[in-house]
Amino acid sequence: MKQKIWIDCDPGIDDAVAITLAVACGEELELLGISTVAGNQTVDRVTENARKLTSFLGISQVPVAKGASGPLVRTPKFAGHVHGKTGLGDYCLPETDKQVEEEPAVLVLARTLKALPPGEKVTLVPIGPLTNIALLLRVFPEAADRIERICLMGGAAVGGNVTPTGEFNIWADPEAAQIVFTWGLPVVMCGLDVTNHCGFTREQAKDLKKSKHPVSQMVGELVEFYFQSPVYQGRERAAIHDAVTITYLLHPDWFTGRAMHVEVDCSEERNRGMTICDFRGKPGEEHPVTVLLQARADRVQEFWMEKLRAFP
Ligand code: RIB
Ligand code: CA
């Protein structure tokens, strides 16, 4: 049985790679839909990117639904300095007549979950701020019955990237993250502890760009743009954070993690958006959140190159 997944994203360079990887793993994953959220760029820009990307990847039939234009409470902050002014560096995806869904993302997602055959569930894969997921749970609490688990990119047991303790997806909308982490659904937190170590080198970006396949070329160009951003100056690898979620779904044995209680700092102080991971729990204690702490990064990167080179 394929795993049914729904990706909530803010494409975004690493979001685009994650979606491409999910499509490349279409034998194991059934992508039911994509929703967009303001994050790396405005919701209009990330939605336009998702609309074109589905067509470019040959999955035009997968619905794209536009979501929240900003966080629940905070002022929207974008990451143009990393993902460029379009959100996909300077890569131009081909035009397409693919249409975005009429209804807003939360409604489309709720309808999709409700329409699942009895007993079937979906794994949500949020790889941007958690605004849409928080709204879904608040407006359609019964939707939680159709959610298998939430495998998200965000947070960190130790560290941050926007601030020393804030990772962008959580920092951008801390209140939404607090709702999601404490809802009680099974959550796998793919935080910076693992995602910072999983990325491509400049060589790998060049290798992908040289490929005859337009999809691999796109990934190579996107990653190359990443290296131009101040974040990756002097770094050997550009972290493809979001693609770790898809990898975990298929190869959980490449990761180690620990179940623990997680809350989010919703202050406006220096630790805004910190995922407060409580390591004091006793072994065997039940906690719905599993924090990933280590990854077999080499194996993850090999898998990515293998899948992207052989894009169907
Ligand atoms: O901190 C990394 C996360 O922020 C990734 O999801 C990236 O796309 C940005 O949204
Ligand atoms: Ca993202």
Name the nearest CA neighbour of 2 among 149, 122, 115, 114. 122
- What are the pLDDT digits (tens) for 220-259? 999 999 998 888 888 999 999 999 999 999 999 999 999 9
pLDDT of residue 82: 86
The total of other beta-carbon atoms located within 10 Å of residue 221's CB is: 19
- Torsion angle, CA of 81/82/86/88, rounded to 10 degrees? 160
Q: Rounded to the nearest whole angstrom, what is the distance from the C-alpha of residue 283 to the centroid of ligand 2?
A: 32
Domains and CATH numbers, the chain: 3-309 (3.90.245.10)
Going by pLDDT thresholds of 50, 70 and 90, the confidence category of residue 156 is very high
- Mean pLDDT for 49-63 is 98
Give the span between the Cα atoms of 185 and 147, in whole angstroms.
Answer: 8
pLDDT at 281 over 90: no
Q: Is the pLDDT of residue 132 over 90?
A: yes
Instruction: Report, as an integer, the average pLDDT of 300-307.
Output: 96
Residue 6 corresponds to which tokens in the numbers above?
Answer: 């729904």
Distance 87 CA to ligand 1 centre (A): 11
Which ligand number lies closest to the CA of residue 169? 1
Q: Whose C-alpha lies nearest to ligand 1, atom 10?
A: 128
Q: What is the atom index within ligand 1 of the atom nearest the CA of 39?
A: 10
pLDDT of 283 over the 90 cut: no
- Sheet of 29-36: strand order equals 64-66, 29-36, 3-9, 122-126, 147-153, 187-190, 289-295, 255-259
> What does the pLDDT look like over 19-38, one tens digit per residue?
999 999 999 999 999 999 99
Share of the chain above pLDDT 70, in %: 100
b (16+ CB within 10 A) / e for 130-154: bbbbbbbbeebeebeebbebbbbbb
CA distances from 14 to 114, 213, 235 (A): 30, 19, 16
Q: Is residue 83 annotated as part of the catalytic site, yes or no?
A: no
Tokens 């080198």 sit on residue: 201
